[in-house]
Amino acid sequence: MTTHSEQAPRPRRATPEAQPEGVPELRDVEQHLITPAAPAIGRVVETRICTASKKAAGFVRHVSIDVSGTELAGRFRAGQSFGVVPPGLTDRGRPHKLRLYSIASPTRGEDGQGQVLATTVKRTIEEHWDDHTLLLGVASNFLCDLHPGAEVAITGPAGKRFVLPKDPGAHDYVFFATGTGVAPFRSMLLEMLGDPGGPCPSKITLVMGAPYATDLIYHQELTALSQTHPNFTYLTAISRERQDDVDRKLYVQGRLETHAEHFGGLLASQRTLIYVCGIAGMELGVFQGLASLLDAEGLDQYLRGEPEVMGDASAWERRMIPRQLRPTKRVMLEVY
């Protein structure tokens, strides 16, 4: 028997950081009901270009998949992802690994019954850096090539942190998206604003970033939602062209500057949560934008760090997240 005095000293755990007011209780969600070892079969029911213009620089499709009869039916939640296992083998003769795609539909699905989910897929078309041959992303091009009726091997759902709170109406929201990072926000917006039980009164602001205005994803749908719901503000940030309202190019964080009053008020509230989804690196710019907009007390609601780090936002680097720059539980990040 080991007496207390004989026990090896326990490794010291860092004391959990006291969190700010307004930390959300996130929804309980199910995960991994369908595993890669035994994927289920879904069937494509719709596929359409979902950029503002069909002549956009990138090819982005809204692909809807009927998952009825699988474990995903009725069990995915807004903000979660699902897996796609591309058919065929890799160059080395192994089966392709699954790729995760954000679900762009609300919990009630595209069909209102949770039987059809949609995702937002951008074709990956690049050049190999070493020999400048064409590189086509396996899963994205597979999905974008599919026609209605085609079968897709699917897994999931996945993700438990990038979801809405149990009581969505208890919070207000600032969403930052770049490119297909808008998918979970379409899902959450339709969940909150299109609820058949009545729209959620929360204040919601989405900042959507794209290279050109033609590349804005779900632009018509989001514009229409903002026109019918005064509590939803939709802002765009175009990175390679001037804006309609500002004579310069903008990344999403630039909207914290051009709309400082709007965001200042929203972010000062203890109800407000920040969600960031999209290109890796955008989270740093958003944090630096927050640091310019908010005073130390305001910033402390969303981001923490030692005083010498917090004092100079211009010296922040991405690798400092999450150890030296620690987002609080009022910030949800999904970057890739």
SS3 131: coil
Which residue in the set 162, 175, 251, 287 belongs to the binding site for ligand A2P (CB under 6 A)?
251
Read off the tokens for 199.
């729209």
Minimum CB separation of residue 141 from ligand A2P in Å reads 16
Cα separation of the two ends of the chain:
50
Number of residues that bind ligand A2P (CB under 6 A): 15
Residue among 42, 45, 124 at smallest CA distance from 84: 42
Instruction: Please check whether residue 27 is in contact with residue 157, taking contact to mean a CB–CB distance below 8 angstroms.
Output: no
The amino acid occupying position 213 is: A
User: Smallest gap, in angstroms, from Cβ of residue 279 to ligand A2P?
Assistant: 5
State in angstroms the smallest separation of the CB of 137 from ligand A2P: 13
72 binds ligand A2P (CB under 6 A): no
C-alpha separations of 121 from 9, 29, 130, 144, 321 in Å: 51, 24, 26, 7, 27
Residue number with CB closer to ligand A2P (98 or 121) = 121
Q: Which is nearer to ligand A2P, 170 or 279 (CB)?
A: 279
Nearest to ligand A2P of 45, 279 (CB atom): 279
Query: 């981001």: which residue's tokens?
Result: 303
67 binds ligand A2P (CB under 6 A): no
CB 254, min distance to ligand A2P, A: 9
Single out the residue of 112, 107, 141 nearest to residue 124, CA to CA: 141
Is 239 a binding residue for ligand A2P by CB under 6 A? The answer is: yes
**DSSP line for 29-78:** ----SB-TTS-EEEEEEEEEE-BSSTT-SS-EEEEEEE-TTSTTTTT--T
Binding flag, residue 68, ligand A2P (CB under 6 A): no
- Give strand pairing partners of 49: 61
Q: Minimum Å distance from CB 40 to ligand A2P? A: 29
242 binds ligand A2P (CB under 6 A): no
Using CB under 6 A as the binding rule, the residues of this chain from 157 to 196 that contact ligand A2P are 178-179
Cβ 80 vs Cβ 103: under 8 Å: yes
Cβ-based nearer residue to ligand A2P, 138 or 335: 335
Question: Does residue 285 interact with ligand A2P by CB under 6 A?
Answer: yes
Residue selected from 112, 148, 265, 281 as contacting ligand A2P according to rule CB under 6 A: 281
Token pair 């089966």 is found at: 95
- Binding positions for ligand A2P, 189-228, rule CB under 6 A: 209-211, 215
What residues pair up with 236 in beta bridges, in sequence order?
A: 208
Q: Quick check: 49 binds ligand A2P (CB under 6 A)?
A: no
Which residues make Cβ contacts (< 8 Å) with residue 159, sequence separation at least 6?
A: 29, 31, 79, 80, 81, 334
Smaller CB distance to ligand A2P: residue 33 or 335? 335
- 137 lies in the site for ligand A2P, by CB under 6 A: no
Q: Closest CB to ligand A2P among 72 and 252?
A: 252
Q: Alpha carbon of 311 to those of 126, 161, 253, 256, 295: distances in Å?
A: 40, 29, 19, 19, 11
The piece of 30-38, 148-156, 257-265, 278-286 that touches ligand A2P (CB under 6 A) is 278-286
Closest residue to ligand A2P: CB criterion: 179
Closer to ligand A2P by Cβ: residue 111 or 241: 241
Give the footprint of ligand A2P on this chain (CB under 6 A): 58, 178-179, 209-211, 215, 239-240, 251-252, 279, 281-282, 285
